[in-house]
Amino acid sequence: MTFRRRVGAMLVLTCAACVTVWAAAPPSDAEFLKKAQALFKPLPKVMDSAANPITPVKVQLGKMLYYEPRLSKSNVISCNSCHNLATYGVDNLPASIGHRWAVGSVNAPTTLNAAAQVAQFWDGRAKDVEEQAKGPILNPAEMGLAHADIAVENIASIPHYVGLFQKAFPGEAKPVTYDNIAKAIGDFERTLTTPGRFDKFLEGDVAALEPNERKGLATFIEVGCASCHKGALFGGGAFEKFGVFRPYQEATGSKVLDTGRFEQTNKEDDKFVFKTAPLRNIERTYPYFHDGSVWDLDTAIAVMLGVQLDKKLAIADIENLRAFLYTLTGEVPIEARTLPVLPPSTKKTARPDVN
């Protein structure tokens, strides 16, 4: 073991400089795995939270609310409208469509694995999925409710929901609150993990990756992608400037210039700073970047290489990178994909208002 480790360390030092060295003297399976394990983590089964511990009834309730169009003014839009679990928690649009066909300003990120991120939204303005869930319901260009109280009144008008809130939040005198709506939705999202083939590799099954995928992973590490896209999510752990070597819009062709966190903080250092996108299920969550400006994954890879790392790679290398990234596609849990039976409205439930 000691000998192997030393050889491994030497190889790592040698290989850090150049991918072609690896082609000549590839590291042992064990060393390669070890290197990957140091950078990446398997996805957890669930993404629990001390502040909002997962319980089966809260998840059941949260799933209903995730699919609940009565949390929108029109009764047409639910969380699942833009974060469609039939399409990996996204709508595959550059920007989502909201109330009265409003077009959103940024690309809707996937809800899959989202709870494990350092923060929510592209600019990180919500600290967790619970806080995030409160946003779209009240956004006039999304679900369009005028006030949180309307969401609470709508849900509280439906006895089946009241019963579930009582079970999900025992001991609370008035459990149907906007905070608890968000907690339930958050808890459901905390179950949305999608382990894939890459996790098998990371857990020790080195044969789980094909040779070209393994080459892609090696390149991913060597050229510097993994300095930001790391951890269990391959991203989502920090904020970085998009456009390190040149303005991103030169490469993405973005028509609107979004300054990222700067719009929240007004700090010069936050200009063009966004949350690093998690790369789990990237195959399915096109179009890419905060503005959905790029449709093709190979192009997105080339953009990132140029703009963030000042690098250009051969087509074959990009193809291997793409093949590796496809190993991050997992399975959307079937329980989450099974539509709940939503309880009927009552005379006290607000009627839909599509205007």
Q: Where do contacts with its own copies occur on this chain (CB under 8 A)?
A: 67, 69, 74-76, 81, 84-87, 91-93, 97, 100-101, 103, 283-284, 286, 295-296, 331-332, 334, 337-342, 344-345, 347, 351-352, 354
Euclidean distance between CA atoms 146 and 50, whole angstroms: 31
Q: Which is nearer to its own copies, 171 or 344 (CB)?
A: 344
C-alpha 175/C-alpha 280 separation (Å) is 35
> In terms of CB distance, is 98 or 109 closer to its own copies?
98
Alpha carbon 272 to its chain's center: 19
Per the listing, tokens 């087509």 go with: 315
Rank residues 245 and 295 by Cβ distance to its own copies and give the closer one.
Answer: 295
d(CA 162, CA 183): 15
d(CA 354, CA 330): 37
Supply the minimum distance, in Å, between the C-beta of residue 331 and its own copies: 8
Q: What is the dihedral sign for C-alpha 209, 215, 216, 217?
A: positive
What is the Cα 308 distance to its own chain's centre? 20
Q: Whole-number minimum distance, CB 116 to its own copies, in Å?
A: 21
Q: How far apart are CA 152 and CA 135, in angstroms?
A: 14
CB of 206 to its own copies, least distance (A): 27
Residue 142 appears among annotated catalytic residues: yes
According to DSSP, the residues that pair with 40 across neighbouring strands are 231
Q: How far apart are CA 331 and CA 334, in angstroms?
A: 8
What letter would DSSP give residue 103? B
Considering beta carbons, is residue 61 or 223 the nearer one to its own copies?
61
Please tell me which residue in 31, 68, 130, 142 is annotated as part of the active site. 142
The CB-of-178 to its own copies minimum distance in angstroms stands at 22
Give the residue numbers marked as catalytic.
Answer: 142
